[in-house]
Amino acid sequence: MIITTLGTNGWFDNENGQTMCTLIRTKNYTVILDAGYGIRRTKPLIDFSNPTYLLLSHMHLDHTIGLHTLDYLQFQLPLTIVVPAGQKQAFEELVRPPYTNPWTKMVPEGSQLLDTEDLASVVLPFGITTLPLQHPVPTHGYRLEIEGKTVTYLSDTGYCENAVTLASGADLVIAECGALPGTVKGKENAPHMEPEICAQLAVETGAGQMVLTHFGAGAYTTMESRMKAAAAARSIFPNLVTGVDNLEIVL
Ligand SMILES: [Zn+2]
Ligand SMILES: [Zn+2]
């Protein structure tokens, strides 16, 4: 599979990147993690003859603002959209007039909106486990079993037990790094992580590799600040990759 970090900014777009979106391509299907403005970059990359699954971590705008470009993407097959438990109504309130077109008009007929509780009764072509994360609004992390590999997506969250559970033994952990080094006080209550906390999580869970994403646009104002922060954390966990827009990881 090919994993591409198409949008690696938290909060807002700036010259360093676009808001959150990660693409996972396999031979038979596509998974999109979050729908910040980075989602527009999926268009030339997706094989539209394959089904696509769009998994949303939460409804914060840096993860959903790109939903109003769904009609630009022109999916050919029905799309499956997954939101955290209880968030279907919030999705439908956001993706509708007068803000944008109704979501059902932007995707092919037969597309479905599920929440994480519906997943128990749905057959997907990959394994999926979801757990709530530590963030001010309902937020879920995803652990995906794809082609014999495990990919975990943790955004947005502070360090928490469920993040550890989801990341345990994963081949790749895509972890949010919203905060600058040294700014998270009391990691068990924080809404975001910082590079060293991410690296410690990777060590604790025995992860194979970790890519940092969701660099807070207000905190990481230059690319150098991302690189420097991740370089320091790499002394804790060497297989730590600094996420930048359009970075490809082959698993
Ligand atoms: Zn965010
Ligand atoms: Zn958030």
Task: Give pLDDT tens digits for 79-106.
Answer: 999 999 999 999 999 999 999 999 999 9
* Alpha carbons 151 and 209: distance in angstroms, whole number: 10
What order of strands is seen across the sheet that includes strand 140-146? 127-132, 140-146, 149-154, 172-176, 209-213, 240-242
The predicted model gives 241-249 an average pLDDT of 98
Span from the CA of 124 to the centroid of ligand 1 (angstroms) = 26
Ligand nearest to the CA of 134: 2
Ligand 1 mean position to 214 CA, how many Å? 6
Calculate how far, in angstroms, residue 106's C-alpha sits from the geometric centre of ligand 2. Answer: 25
Tell me, what's the pLDDT at 186? Answer: 86
CA of 64 to the centre of ligand 1 (A): 9
Number of structural domains (the chain) is 1
Distances in whole angstroms, Cα of residue 145 to Cα of each of 45, 108, 196: 22, 26, 26
Kindly give the distance from the C-alpha atom of residue 14 to the centroid of ligand 1, in angstroms, as a whole number.
Answer: 14
For residue 89 the two structure tokens come to: 């109504």
Q: How high is the pLDDT of residue 187?
A: 83
188: pLDDT strictly greater than 90: no
Q: Span 218-239, mean pLDDT? A: 96
What's the 207 CA to ligand 2 centre distance in angstroms? Answer: 23
Res 197: pLDDT: 97
What's the 176 CA to ligand 1 centre distance in angstroms? Answer: 8
Mean pLDDT of 146-166: 98
C-alpha of residue 27 to centroid of ligand 2, in Å: 31
- Predicted confidence (pLDDT) per residue in 168-187, tens digit: 999 999 999 999 999 999 88
Residue 166 structure tokens: 């989801």
Cα–Cα dist 192/51, whole Å: 32
Question: How far is Cα 105 from Cα 113, in angstroms, rounded to an integer?
Answer: 13
Overall average pLDDT of the 19-48 stretch:
98
pLDDT tens by residue, 50-73: 999 999 999 999 999 999 999 999
Expressed as residue numbers, the domain containing 197 is 2-250
Residue 221 CA to ligand 1 center (angstroms) comes to 16
Backbone angles phi, psi at 236, to 5 degrees: -90, -45
Query: Measured in angstroms, how far is the CA atom of residue 217 from the centroid of ligand 2?
Result: 13
> What's the 155 CA to ligand 1 centre distance in angstroms?
7
**Mean pLDDT, residues 102-125:** 97
Nearest ligand, measured from the Cα of 62: 1
Percent of the chain's residues with pLDDT above 70: 100
6 Cα: distance to centroid of ligand 1 (angstroms): 14
pLDDT at 10: 98
Which CATH number covers residue 87? 3.60.15.10
Average confidence score pLDDT of the chain: 97
Distance 98 CA to ligand 2 centre (A): 24
Check residue 166 and give its pLDDT: 98
Does position 144 have pLDDT exceeding 90, yes or no?
yes
**Token pair recorded at residue 191:** 């809404």
35 Cα to the center of ligand 1, angstroms: 11
